[in-house]
Structure 1
Amino acid sequence: MKNWIVVAAGLLWQATAWAGGTPSYSALAIDAALTKGADAVIRTEETVFTVHSAKSSTEKVRVVVTVLTPEGKEHAQLVVPYDKLNKVDYIKGTLYDASGKKNRSLKASEIKDYSNTSDFSLYEDNRVKVAQADATTYPFTVEYEYQVSSSNMLFYPVWYPLSSPKVALEHASFQVNMPVGMPLRYHERQVPEKATVTQVNHQQVYKWVVKGIAPVEREPWGPSYYELVPFVRTAPTTFEVEGYAGTMDSWKTLGEWQNKLNQGRGVLSDATRQQVLELTKNLATPEEKVKAVYQFMQNKTRYVSIQLGIGGWQPFEAAVVDSKGYGDCKALSNYTKSLLEAAGINSHYALIWGGEDNRPVVPDFPSSQFNHVVLCVPTAKDTIWLECTSQTADAGYTGSFTGDRYSLLVTPEGGKLVSTPVFKAKDNTQIRSVQVKLNAQGSGVGEAVTWFTGTQHEDRNSIMHQLKPEEQLKWLYKQTHIPAFEIKNFALEKVKATAPQVKEKLQLELPRLASVSGRRMFITPNLMNRWTTVPSALESRKQEVVWNSAFHDVDSVEYEIPAGYKPESVPSPVKITTAFGQFEAKVQVKGSKLLYVRQLTMHKGRHSPEKYKELVDFLKQVVRADQQQVVLAAEAT
């Protein structure tokens, strides 16, 4: 496979050889093809996951890592999470020197136990054991062995034998032992050899092996690292968690299991139900009722994470949230669902992967691939998605946190995998209008008014609610890209519109707006939105080209030319169209006014490796166009 560097069969396997009962982990035994560009090398990684029944399992891991440089020190650390449903049975460790000679065993004092509770959590049972075997000289090798026993059978392992850049791999294996009659479901990617399946006694044994992988490097604007390395996702067919049994052979049955957890947890008091009816009785449309109920929930509650045992997947009762005024994503979504039911509006509890690191769900592999819960409200006009953990989000807005991905709707009939709204370039806009008054000394003053929508409004919407005015000003200084400027005044305003929108207004002092040489003045008319970065050219591109952001920028900058000056040189209009997007810029002179208009539209998408050169050439042209200058000349007196 083209993303792999496979070491020849003659690779020296001293890393796993035994001599006199002692393993040899000499750093000198590592093939040079693996050490090139590596901070660490995984000598061997062996994971054995044994399912005892639908209720319990154990996972044994043995990993040996040679750390080559100080930058690779982090790879000598072992982190093992645990909680009420997952118990760490033991952790062992051994430290070896550069020649592979054993230095010492890991001390108990070197295994720390920490809470893994979030800052916003009221209570969680998540903890981690962290082992760190340090050495003062490089290279050195550390070996860890540990075992975890689990009664949380909703999750089977996801195997990434190579999980970091600048790390190479000599040998790794992943084995899953299943009771006969309990088949394993799995999804493979970037694995050179498919699983072997054998029967040993009363177990069905599945095994994957990978060998000799040099550090995997992402190419500029390439796929994520995790798309380029070996990956095996496993999942049960039947499972049980704290007495709640289910099946996972389809999205429908996974939704049925979640329905069991949610059953009976939507009951509200008569007083609250009456409050909702009073709130919505004069509203004409379902959309208006949804927004009113959503705002009622936002004003009444706050987000607090509570994760304990089955509570990691089962919401608090709606009545508890109603009385306490707080809950996690599950509880708040369930509560909002109950409020909407009181108003006669049907909605669906929805599992999703929340976060800007949009991890793609494998749609043809039903399994628990989610970390968040939202609410989906189908209406005759549209589908309204509600982020119930936010006191400031707009009804129906998904954005970068939950937009453009799969979600599992939990309907009365079971689970249904659907897509959340996809944001196109024209949904994520930055529309700016700037008025500049330029004087004969090359300085000036300006007023910039910008409207941000879609994902481009999110940062400003966030700081409006989270930062004090003086902190907002500091943030704006960092976000404003002008060679020299001072913000004399600013205003941020949430604009009521069909889509969330923020209006930004800046009063600017511009001390070095133009450079003056003799009777000429040189201006870069693109004042605030210059593209400055271009990815490196590659002779041989191997990976797909991935452009992950869609946006549409329009900048209009009007300059008032100083008295006595006339344009001497004006750039020609520029218009470029590519598979990645479009760019257009032009300068017009109207009397004493010089108007610069620039538009850049970029489309999200994946392209063949051959398209990379087109992207580089396109961005080079944009950079050049953004740096073009207007020359003004003083009239002869």
Structure 2
Amino acid sequence: MLFRVNARPVNRRCLAGLFFVLVATPLYAASGVPDWVRTAAHQTLPDFPETTKAVVLLDETTYTVAPDGSAVEHLRHVVKILRPQGREYGYPFVWYDKDSKVLSMHVWSIDPAGHEYALKDNEIRDFSPPGDGELYSDDKAKIADPPGRDPGGIVAYEYEKRERPYLAETNWQFQGEIPHVTQSFVLVLPQGYSYTTTWAHHPQTDGIDLENHHYRWDMNNEPAIDLEHIPMRPASGSLEARMTVHYSGPGLAQPQEGTWKGIGEWYDSLAHDRVVATPDISAKAAELTQGKTDFYDKSEAIGEFVQQQIRYFVIEMGVGGYQPHPAADIFRGRYGDCKDKATLLSAMLSSVGIHSALLMVDTQRGVIDPEDPSIYGNHMIAAIEVPQGYESPKLHSVVTAKTGKRYLIFDPTWEKTPFGQLEDNLQGSYGVLLEGANSQVIQLPVLDPKFNSVRRSARFQLDADGTLKGTVTVKRFGDLAERERYLFTHGDAKEQQQYIDRTASRDFAAASLTDLKAENVESLNKDMTTSYTLSASHFATAAGLLLMVRPRVLGSLDIPVDHKVRKVGIDLRQTMQASDDFEIELPAGYVVDELPDPVKIDLGFASYESSTEVQGQTLHYKRVYTQREVTLPADKYSELQKLAGVIDNDEQSRAVLKHK
């Protein structure tokens, strides 16, 4: 977890995989199933697609706010398993930490044969997720493994949980990856309190006033957002509907109005005293920027220090999931999580006269909805204010706020993204600029394709027996260099050779790659360059006096489309540009008899162009693929399918050589 999330979906597969170490053979009590569980279990269900794994029969939430601003959530949840793959939805769970508490939890089930079970208290276990070397968190869960988790079985649970006291917001997620039949949300407020609601991926819906400060919303027969077998799928959180409730009243120390400005002011109350440049911090910033007068040069020096020299390590306890550690502690320890690194960056920049702000984002594109002011993000980065009138070709990820101020968006956590750029998964999404009274939601930039590129060039000799030999050079920049930079920074020679061999196996039946070299591995603002010598037998195929040769020797631009009707948007992942320039010296005694036709297609969001020519005894293949967008609407899928077909045909095309 990078930055604590408020009521985000939980990966049930991860929970399911851990039960074999958590749960011993249980003894279940018979009967005791409440009437509300039986009623939900016996209701008539609508027709579902055959692939539906499970269905939520009932989901009732009551959220009660006390006069002092504390809140308790009460949940009833019933799910029916429809297919064997749906067993993962039959694990009851509730998360908590040191600032929240599970007051009670009960679990029941009805197996496919109709036998009823009620779990005992000692059969509901406490679980602490294991750290991964970069994480310490006090998040825990109450979890259970009830019987009857088979097709036709019913699992139900009920809990009461005291919420974190420093939040005045709750999210009701009424849509997910399986259908929901009957569900409701009831808000109970004390005298003198008021509320507002905002909605993501769903029209605004008024609640029913039940009197005595009770309000109810119902959302029934909500379809599933099932993206499991959809290629180039968007994040599920960018589609699933939710309601955010903000409340305020006299008992709240930190009221939060339902606007982006309110979100920013709430967070400023947590973080403003953490962004303080101590003498040690100021001295280091001065050292890094000594002799530099240009805004970009100074920002880059400090940005790269925080990016490369402050180790990513997460320590989250209670409010620490939201609140950064003091900049002095981060600098002294040389480690921190995403919000810590952004905080230290801001403190160091401020000491050399450069203002910056924290920017709350989500690592999945589209999850933050501009129409739903909320703390519903999981990552924190930096927005560095660009001086008025300053221009530089190095500023690639710049946005302009409503105030007219320009900001360079930079993520000091993303270790392999060059300063001045933004990693591909954040581009085109939204973030919350945390600038106190000027806080606002902003759309993050989509970068020019040339800043994320791969350029392959090679010179080969083809023998009459079909063997191809030559040297290959690959230059990568931006996010397309990330994997290789990690490999040549952290991997050994064996791992590096295995990676390049696996890459070659996609294009050659039998190939040998030697003399592997890498340059500019750590220089993020320079091309990451690899080169090697290649020898591939049986590259050309003989047919009598003819040789069939693939001009596109290596490097595939695979676009993973299918042939189904598209109903959801398309995530292209990144803007990019890929180019190939290959020369093949023909074997003595052979001439070109037939060449593939040139290709040129431009669909706006992407373009592709290739050509194969003969220059003396050399076959010359060139192509350029440019991808200009990161997302597309569903109705563009046919165009994407067309593009994928054009590219695939070109990649498989052959030149025909004949012996004189």
Could you tell me which runs of 5 or more consecutive residues in structure 2 were left unpaired when the two chains were aligned.
Answer: 1-31, 396-406
1:509 counterpart = 2:520: no
Residue identity matched to 1:79? F
Q: CA deviation at 1:520?
A: 1.2
Residue identity matched to 2:473? V
1:420-465 superposed Cα distances (whole Å, 9 cap, x missing partner): 3312333322211121111111012222212222232222223233
Q: CA deviation at 1:600?
A: 1.8
**C-alpha spacing 1:28/1:179, structure 2 compared with 1 (3 Å):** closer
- 2:175 touches 2:222 (CA, 8 Å); kept in 1? no
Equivalent position to 1:358, from 362, 365, 369 = 365
Q: CA deviation at 1:325?
A: 2.2
Q: CA deviation at 1:276?
A: 3.3
- 2:417 touches 2:479 (CA, 8 Å); kept in 1? no
Residue identity matched to 1:568? D
Q: Which residue of 2 aligns with 1:451?
A: 475
Kindly report which structure 2 residues correspond to 1:39-78, keeping only aligned pairs within 5 A, or say none. 39-53=53-67, 55-78=69-92
Equivalent position to 2:597, from 564, 572, 591 = 572
Q: Which residue of 2 aligns with 1:4?
A: none
Equivalent position to 2:444, from 397, 413, 420 = 420
Q: Which residue of 1 aligns with 2:176?
A: 163
1:150 counterpart = 2:166: no
Q: Greater CA deviation, 177-186 or 617-626?
A: 177-186
Q: Which residue of 2 aligns with 1:348?
A: 357
Equivalent position to 2:327, from 318, 323, 343 = 318
**C-alpha spacing 1:160/1:26, structure 2 compared with 1 (3 Å):** closer
Q: Following the alignment from structure 2 to structure 1, what is the Cα–Cα distance between the partners of residues 318 and 63?
A: 21
Equivalent position to 1:604, from 620, 624, 629 = 629
Q: For 1:264, what is the secondary structure of its paired residue? A: helix
1:267-303 superposed Cα distances (whole Å, 9 cap, x missing partner): 4443553343344332131222222223444565322
**C-alpha spacing 1:174/1:224, structure 2 compared with 1 (3 Å):** same
Q: CA deviation at 1:32?
A: 6.5
Equivalent position to 2:125, from 112, 121, 133 = 112
Residue identity matched to 1:371? N
Q: For 1:211, what is the secondary structure of its paired residue? A: coil
Residue identity matched to 1:425? P
1:102-161 superposed Cα distances (whole Å, 9 cap, x missing partner): 432124454232213642446421112221213375421111111211134536343333
Q: Following the alignment from structure 1 to structure 2, what is the Cα–Cα distance between the partners of residues 615 and 159?
A: 35
Q: Which residue of 2 aligns with 1:232?
A: 242
**C-alpha spacing 1:239/1:358, structure 2 compared with 1 (3 Å):** farther
Q: Following the alignment from structure 2 to structure 1, what is the Cα–Cα distance between the partners of residues 547 and 517?
A: 32
1:192-236 superposed Cα distances (whole Å, 9 cap, x missing partner): 9934321422x140312212747856765565544555x222131
- 1:54 touches 1:153 (CA, 8 Å); kept in 2? no
Equivalent position to 1:186, from 187, 197, 202 = 197
Q: For 1:290, what is the secondary structure of its paired residue? A: helix
**C-alpha spacing 1:199/1:70, structure 2 compared with 1 (3 Å):** closer
**Structure with a larger share of its residues in strand:** 1
- 1:34 touches 1:41 (CA, 8 Å); kept in 2? no
1:369 counterpart = 2:393: no
| Normalised TM-score (structure 2) | 0.83
Q: Which residue of 1 aligns with 2:6?
A: none
- 1:45 touches 1:171 (CA, 8 Å); kept in 2? yes
Q: Following the alignment from structure 2 to structure 1, what is the Cα–Cα distance between the partners of residues 585 and 352?
A: 57
Q: Which residue of 2 aligns with 1:302?
A: 311
Q: Following the alignment from structure 1 to structure 2, what is the Cα–Cα distance between the partners of residues 269 and 213?
A: 53
Q: Which residue of 2 aligns with 1:555?
A: 580
- 1:34 touches 1:214 (CA, 8 Å); kept in 2? no
Q: Greater CA deviation, 212-221 or 607-616?
A: 212-221
Q: Following the alignment from structure 2 to structure 1, what is the Cα–Cα distance between the partners of residues 59 and 428?
A: 35
Q: Following the alignment from structure 1 to structure 2, what is the Cα–Cα distance between the partners of residues 223 and 55?
A: 37
Q: Following the alignment from structure 1 to structure 2, what is the Cα–Cα distance between the partners of residues 245 and 136?
A: 43
1:470 counterpart = 2:481: no
Residue identity matched to 2:263? L
1:281 counterpart = 2:290: yes
Q: Following the alignment from structure 1 to structure 2, what is the Cα–Cα distance between the partners of residues 228 and 278?
A: 47
- 2:461 touches 2:585 (CA, 8 Å); kept in 1? yes
Q: Following the alignment from structure 2 to structure 1, what is the Cα–Cα distance between the partners of residues 137 and 321?
A: 9
Q: For 1:263, what is the secondary structure of its paired residue? A: helix
- 1:34 touches 1:169 (CA, 8 Å); kept in 2? no
Equivalent position to 1:530, from 535, 553, 556 = 556
Percent of residue pairs identical? 24
1:409 counterpart = 2:442: no
Q: For 1:179, what is the secondary structure of its paired residue? A: coil
Q: Which residue of 1 aligns with 2:96?
A: 82
- 1:117 touches 1:127 (CA, 8 Å); kept in 2? no
Q: Greater CA deviation, 435-444 or 424-433?
A: 424-433
**C-alpha spacing 1:159/1:282, structure 2 compared with 1 (3 Å):** same
- 2:75 touches 2:159 (CA, 8 Å); kept in 1? yes
Q: For 1:134, what is the secondary structure of its paired residue? A: coil
Q: CA deviation at 1:407?
A: 2.7
Q: Greater CA deviation, 414-423 or 370-379?
A: 414-423
Q: For 2:371, what is the secondary structure of its paired residue? A: coil
1:347-380 superposed Cα distances (whole Å, 9 cap, x missing partner): 2232222x2x223422233221222222222222
Q: Following the alignment from structure 1 to structure 2, what is the Cα–Cα distance between the partners of residues 374 and 194?
A: 33
Q: CA deviation at 1:534?
A: 5.8
Q: Following the alignment from structure 2 to structure 1, what is the Cα–Cα distance between the partners of residues 329 and 410?
A: 20
Equivalent position to 1:378, from 382, 385, 388 = 385
**C-alpha spacing 1:610/1:136, structure 2 compared with 1 (3 Å):** closer
Residue identity matched to 2:162? S
- 2:423 touches 2:479 (CA, 8 Å); kept in 1? yes
Q: For 1:472, what is the secondary structure of its paired residue? A: helix
**C-alpha spacing 1:33/1:493, structure 2 compared with 1 (3 Å):** same
Q: Following the alignment from structure 1 to structure 2, what is the Cα–Cα distance between the partners of residues 213 and 144?
A: 22
Q: For 1:44, what is the secondary structure of its paired residue? A: strand
- 2:430 touches 2:443 (CA, 8 Å); kept in 1? yes
- 1:70 touches 1:138 (CA, 8 Å); kept in 2? yes
Q: CA deviation at 1:595?
A: 0.4
**C-alpha spacing 1:543/1:408, structure 2 compared with 1 (3 Å):** closer
Could you tell me which runs of 5 or more consecutive residues in structure 1 were left unpaired when the two chains were aligned.
Answer: 1-17
- 2:427 touches 2:445 (CA, 8 Å); kept in 1? yes
**C-alpha spacing 1:294/1:74, structure 2 compared with 1 (3 Å):** same
- 1:180 touches 1:204 (CA, 8 Å); kept in 2? no
Q: Greater CA deviation, 547-556 or 186-195?
A: 186-195
Q: Following the alignment from structure 2 to structure 1, what is the Cα–Cα distance between the partners of residues 554 and 59?
A: 51
- 1:266 touches 1:334 (CA, 8 Å); kept in 2? yes
Equivalent position to 1:196, from 180, 189, 207 = 207
Q: Following the alignment from structure 1 to structure 2, what is the Cα–Cα distance between the partners of residues 611 and 423?
A: 21
Q: Which residue of 2 aligns with 1:483?
A: 508
